[in-house]
Structure 1
Amino acid sequence: MKVSFLVPDLGWPIVGIAARMANYLHPEHEVEIVGPNLWRGANIMYAAEFAYRPVDCPRLYRLPEYFRESRKLTRALTGDVIISMKAFGSNLPAALRAKRERGCRVVAYLDEWDGAVAAEWSWSERLRQWTRDWMHPGNNVYVPWVERRLRECDERLVTTQFLAQKFAGRIFHIGVDTARFQPQDPEAVARLKHQLGLSANTLLVFGGVARPHKGLEVFLEALVRLRRTDCRVVILGPHNEYVQQLQQHSEYGALVCCPATTPEAIQLIHREMPLYLGLGDALLVPLTDTLLARSQMPCKLFEAMAMGKPILANAVSDVPAVLGDGGYLLPPNDVAATAQAIQALLADPAGAAAMGQRARARCVAHYSAATSRQELLNILQALR
């Protein structure tokens, strides 16, 4: 059976999840990852993970050319099963058109509620957004319309209970390669720490892309409250505009370290992610309490658990159910509670180490790549 993964844009980070799922299915199934090439190539972090097939549809983002360009995507999809990664105007309608025209099966994979952005708009904001973006069917204003078509899919794979209830979905966790993500050689970690100029520091490491809804500021404010000027929050995702804002903050800017400042560094860190996560005295899985965050299950949580490191995570969405007793569960946006947890963790290295071991054992038992791979194969078998 052939499986086509359709992404909204090859430049989006979701291609990384598509690549992992595609690799799970190979060699049992023929697989391809297809998508519009609106960002001049595949996302830099995941460009080397799969031979992506770009579709030349540069006017997909604009009406009325959208209809012609979307048909190009439909014609490019040759799979017996199409997995639409997210539900945007730039991918799900093309997949459902293929189903209508040639009877293939369509699966939607939802890693978060993308419609949450529009759901939080006031009426005046909604009007302003429609006035600005009505000609752009791939933008957020059209997401609620596209999501209404999710019922036409043969299966909806989701990452949280929130999404399962909202879209009648089946929970599927992407899992993690626990042979690759595991406790690292202390000497290799020490060398990297020295190379980064961080040998004298206690490190709290965040392995993802820094975004405003993650709430990294709370951890930084907690360090300021504790007067832990020896600590650093190390962000392993790209050095984006938001990271720059954090580094420019008058109180905690000096506590922020982000080594991914060039395309080469971004690719290196992604390639060597387990070693970089090994830098952490603790690993961070931050989330704020927003509609969007309540729908998310951070993939970085599974990677953090596999590393056997103590974890500081916000108790949002299904994070408490997944992490269990493998980490500190913190109320979101609570600087005092976060400061107390950091202080307790750093004051009890033995207890923190035991917590990390429990997290890894839980990850190996329930969230390994092998477990996720078999589950995905079973889902496809049921669609034959």
Structure 2
Amino acid sequence: MDLQQDKKLKISLVVSDLSASGAGRWGGAVRTFLLYEALKKLNHEVKIFGFVFGDESPEVSQSKIPIVAIPCAYHSGFIKAAQKVIKQIDGDIIYAVKLKPTSFGLSIIKKLTARRPVILDIDDWELSWHGGEQWKYRPGLKQFYRDTFKPDGALRYPDHPLYLKWLESLVFYADTITLHTQFLKERFGGVYLPNGKDTTLFDPSQFDSEASRIRYGLAGYRILMFPGAPRPYKGLEDVLAALDVLNQPDIRLVIVGGSPYDAYDNQLMQQWGRWIIKLPKYPVSEMPAVVAAAHIVVVPQRDTPAAQAQFPLKLTDGMAMAKPILSTYVGDIPEILGGTGYLVTPESPEEIAEKIQWIFGHLDEANQQGMKARERCINYYSTDTMAAILSDVIKNLQLAGKV
């Protein structure tokens, strides 16, 4: 399939956070870099611009990717760092990744000063992390003064929820919006652009599952794998409670990489350490071999606004590698799996326990479902699919005379 476009454009991906807890996590195996790969398939010249906050450094293993990472203090250093980023953004198209001041806010300024079209990609409802519509900022006079003028004042943080709320009213500055869930589409409108996977890299025919289990110290266990960052809304506590119910000594939940945000996975270890095996973070090139070691990939999302707004990348990890996937009826997950996985009610350890028991009792049948999941991933959730959709988005900007 020839996806390359006739006119080669310079596209600037403007990213809110390139540090290890932002887009730099997982060796770059997050949406920013999926967009990069899809745009490169169209033969465009793509460069990534963004901030590295605090003392962190970008942890992106793909050294061939052109990245401009500007160091930035969390509070007082943002304005100077923003000026540096804006000055260097040089694309014919500006592609803002996330509805944040540190990405879309800067992109609006560049649009107004350089007359460049802006595409906005929304992959989270940012306000959901702060209580959604219920969040209010009602400080007293003294608190407002502290928030504004103290060196570490809350309002000096560029992605304070007050600014996130303001920015939602400015989405009309985007010439096009791309997003990856129906929840976000209903809220913001735009073009549906699902997360894709490199299904050539993630190809189960290239790996021996038992050899992978031996390689990663998992031999002799029946493996449930969560190849992502643990957070409370992702439902790992429900899986671990299900393992308490089953109480079968050869089953383990393997958490790959751990949390780049906090010590939540250590809390899980304290309560359920007997069921957990932690593997370190691996570069994206090694993740297919890691996922190959799983018997089941678990994506047990809880039904929260944050989860409803997300397209879990762990789904396409499991789908591409033809693994049985155990997930929940939350957000777009049923539609993404399209009948090729196993779904339970969120926050239902008993149902999870029953489904785990059933899958291991019918593993050949479950593996056939996994093969169907891979076929679905190739057809609907590959980076080629992303590239085809982005090709149309860019052509529409050209037809409108904006490029």
After TM superposition, the score normalised by the length of structure 1 is 0.89
Pick which of 298-307 and 36-45 moved more: 36-45
Aligned counterparts of 2:120 and 2:279: Cα–Cα separation in 1: 35
User: 1:78 and 2:101 equivalent?
Assistant: no
Aligned counterparts of 2:346 and 2:269: Cα–Cα separation in 1: 22
Aligned counterparts of 2:163 and 2:191: Cα–Cα separation in 1: 24
- Count of paired positions: 372
Residue by residue over 1:251-290, the C-alpha shift from the partner in whole angstroms, topping out at 9 and shown as x without a partner, is: x221111111xxxxx235x331111111111111121111
Q: Equivalences for 1:26-41 in 2 at 5 Å? A: 26=40, 28-40=43-55
Find 2:187's aligned residue among 166, 183, 187: 166
* 1:45 to partner: Cα distance: 5.4
Q: Equivalences for 1:45-56 in 2 at 5 Å? A: 46=61, 48=63, 50-56=65-71
Whether the 8 Å CA contact 1:305–1:356 is kept in 2: the answer is yes
Q: Percent same amino acid among aligned pairs?
A: 29
User: 1:144 and 2:153 equivalent?
Assistant: no
Give the SS at the match of 2:102.
coil
Whether the 8 Å CA contact 1:222–1:339 is kept in 2: the answer is yes
* 1:122 to partner: Cα distance: 5.9
Find 2:292's aligned residue among 278, 283, 293: 278
* 1:183 to partner: Cα distance: 1.6
Residue of structure 2 in register with 1:62 after alignment: 75
Residue of structure 2 in register with 1:97 after alignment: 109
Residue by residue over 1:60-101, the C-alpha shift from the partner in whole angstroms, topping out at 9 and shown as x without a partner, is: x436x6444423222111111111110212221111011111
Aligned counterparts of 2:388 and 2:291: Cα–Cα separation in 1: 27
Give the SS at the match of 2:36.
helix
Residue of structure 2 in register with 1:14 after alignment: 23
Find 2:392's aligned residue among 369, 374, 378: 378
Find 2:38's aligned residue among 24, 41, 52: 24
Q: 1:42 to 1:80 in 2, by over 3 A?
A: farther
Unaligned runs of 5+ in 2: 1-8, 148-152, 399-403
Aligned counterparts of 1:267 and 1:43: Cα–Cα separation in 2: 15
Give the SS at the match of 2:126.
coil
Whether the 8 Å CA contact 1:45–1:267 is kept in 2: the answer is no
Residue of structure 1 in register with 2:125 after alignment: 113
Whether the 8 Å CA contact 1:10–1:41 is kept in 2: the answer is no
Q: 1:119 to 1:53 in 2, by over 3 A?
A: same
Cα RMSD (Å) of the superposition? 2.4
**Bigger relative contact order, structure 1 or 2, given CA contacts below 8 A and separation 6+?**
2
Aligned counterparts of 2:339 and 2:56: Cα–Cα separation in 1: 41
The one-letter code matched in structure 1 to 2:12 is S
Q: Equivalences for 1:116-265 in 2 at 5 Å? A: 116-120=128-132, 127=139, 131=147, 133-184=154-205, 188-238=208-258, 241-249=263-271, 252-260=272-280
Residue of structure 2 in register with 1:263 after alignment: none
* 1:184 to partner: Cα distance: 4.7
Aligned counterparts of 2:214 and 2:158: Cα–Cα separation in 1: 49
Give the SS at the match of 2:343.
strand
* 1:118 to partner: Cα distance: 2.5
